[in-house]
Amino acid sequence: MLTDIGLALQAWGAHDSGVKQESATFDPESLRRSVHEEIDHMEPARLVFLQQVMHQLEIDGLGAQLDREFDGDRAAGRLDPAAIQMAIREVRARHPYE
């Protein structure tokens, strides 16, 4: 599984130096049409690699979202170890192992 999108883009053949600059000034619809056109003409091996990159981007986004949510829960005291242990004891008391 891919762990570094920068390396993935370099392996893909993109120039890492231009990726961030272009992303700030693009027309989303024009870019979408261009990307779809490129995908339509892409060789199968690159399609597989593109799918892996897309999955990794989704994983990275979900991981960042989880980090933000957990940070909020920690700040609100919802992940206090003592509170978690108390909740576990309460659930086990209501649902004992048999």
Domain boundaries, the chain: 5-94
- Running along the chain, 98 residues long, what does each successive block of 10 average in pLDDT? 54 48 74 95 94 96 96 91 92 90
d(CA 10, CA 18): 11
This prediction's pTM: 0.56
pLDDT given at position 15: 44
pLDDT given at position 88: 94
For the record, the structure tokens of 17 come out as: 């130096």
